[in-house]
């Protein structure tokens, strides 16, 4: 769960111990089969074109929302401007739960929960990035980690009254009427998506310095309280 920090520590330990486990990549052939569930929207390989989703050639190392002429969601364009780069880590997080990383992405996909399946898929996609040899074998999530928020955290019952007080901090920037020019709207946000997104900021998986800072000092209970308040906001 607290993935990045936890897994990089794990990585450092395993590397120094000369253990090859953490650098183990998925099986690209199995990944090709897993890609079947993406094919409805994405193409990859020679002659791949942008369809419902952008083509995935050269995805590793590309900035989010960067294909000229492709009509991205506002959320994805913002993530790119906020310097979200597609790496083994960020792709793994995105494929696991797209909305945790990019709240209102148009990618309507529930995500792949199985870390092995994700690493297989990413191993397959790496074949179509310009120079896979430049992609470090030892990226922290190469062997798959769990980006999901701990179910125990998701199960915390928030205190909506406290959430209302905490939400006052949000409305300094986010417009209460749902306007979203420059800063995204935060109304009508499903409770679980909200919690997952806040934890992604807190763990600095999602880019954006203000949100990382704001979420960074919220306790698990405070995030739950905010979620409990926001779920009822029209």
Partner 1 sequence: MNINRRVLIGSGAAAAMLAAPMVRAAGHGKPRVVVVGGGAGGATAARYIAKDSEGEISVTLIEPTRKYYTCFFSNLYLGGFKQIEDIGHSYGTLAAGGVNVVHDWAIGVDRDAKTVSLAGGGTVGYDKLILSPGIDFVEGAVEGWDLSAQNAMPHAYKAGSQSELLKAQLEAMPQGGTFAMVAPPNPYRCPPGPYERVSMVAHFLKANNPTAKIIVADPKEKFSKQALFQEGWANHYAGMVDWIGADFGGGEVSVDPNAMSVTIDGEETKVDVCNVIPAMKAGRIAELAGVTDGNWAPVNAADMSAKADPDIHVLGDAASQGDMPKSGYSANSQAKVCANAVRGALTGTRVFPAKFANTCWSLIDTNDGVKVGATYEATDEKIAKVDGFISATGESAELRKATYEESEGWYAGITADMFG
| Region near partner 1 per CB under 8 A, out of 18-26, 53-61, 192-200, 216-224 | 216-224
178 makes contact with partner 1 (CB under 8 A): no
Confirm or reject binding of residue 171 to partner 1 (CB under 8 A): yes
Nearest by Cα to 92 from 56, 145, 53:
145
The separation between CA 197 and the C-alpha centre of its own chain, rounded to angstroms, equals 8
Q: Does 162 bind partner 1 (CB under 8 A)?
A: yes
Of 185-214, which residues contact partner 1 (CB under 8 A)?
209-210, 212-214
Binding partner 1 (rule: CB under 8 A), the pick from 47, 49, 131, 181 is 181
The b-or-e profile of 23-46 (16+ CB within 10 A means b, else e) is eebbbbebbbebbeebeeebbbee
Listed in sequence order, the residues at least 6 apart from 98 whose beta carbon sits closer than 8 Å to its beta carbon are 105, 107, 109, 111
Q: How far apart are CA 224 and CA 234, in angstroms?
A: 18
Window 76 to 115, contacts with partner 1 (CB under 8 A): 78, 80-83
> Bridge-partner residues for 63, per DSSP?
85
User: Would you say 79 or 142 has its CB closer to partner 1?
Assistant: 79
Which of 80, 115 has the CB closer to partner 1?
80
Contact residues for partner 1 (CB under 8 A)? Answer: 63, 78, 80-83, 156, 158-159, 161-162, 165-166, 168-169, 171-177, 179-183, 209-210, 212-214, 216-217, 219, 221-222, 224-225
């Amino acid at each position: 769960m607290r993935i990045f920090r936890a897994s990089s520590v794990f990585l450092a330990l395993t590397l120094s111990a000369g253990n090859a486990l953490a650098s183990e990549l998925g099986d690209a052939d199995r990944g090709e089969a897993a890609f079947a569930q993406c094919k409805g929207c994405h193409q990859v390989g020679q002659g791949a074109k942008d369809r419902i989703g952008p083509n995935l050639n050269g995805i590793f190392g590309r900035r989010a929302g960067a294909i000229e002429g492709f009509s991205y969601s506002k959320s994805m364009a913002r993530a790119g401007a906020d310097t979200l780069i597609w790496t083994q880590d960020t792709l793994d997080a995105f494929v696991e739960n797209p909305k945790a990383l990019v709240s209102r992405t148009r990618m309507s996909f529930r995500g792949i929960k199985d870390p092995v399946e994700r690493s297989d898929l990413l191993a397959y996609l790496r074949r179509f990035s310009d120079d896979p040899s430049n992609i470090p074998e030892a990226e922290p999530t190469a062997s798959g980690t769990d980006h999901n928020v701990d179910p125990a955290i998701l199960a915390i019952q928030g205190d909506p009254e406290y959430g209302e007080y905490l939400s006052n901090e949000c409305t300094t920037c986010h417009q209460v009427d749902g306007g979203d020019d420059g800063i995204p709207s935060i109304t009508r946000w499903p409770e679980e998506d909200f919690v997952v997104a806040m934890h992604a900021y807190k763990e600095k998986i999602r880019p954006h310095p203000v949100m990382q800072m704001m979420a960074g000092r919220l306790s698990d209970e405070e995030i739950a309280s905010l979620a409990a308040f926001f779920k009822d906001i029209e």
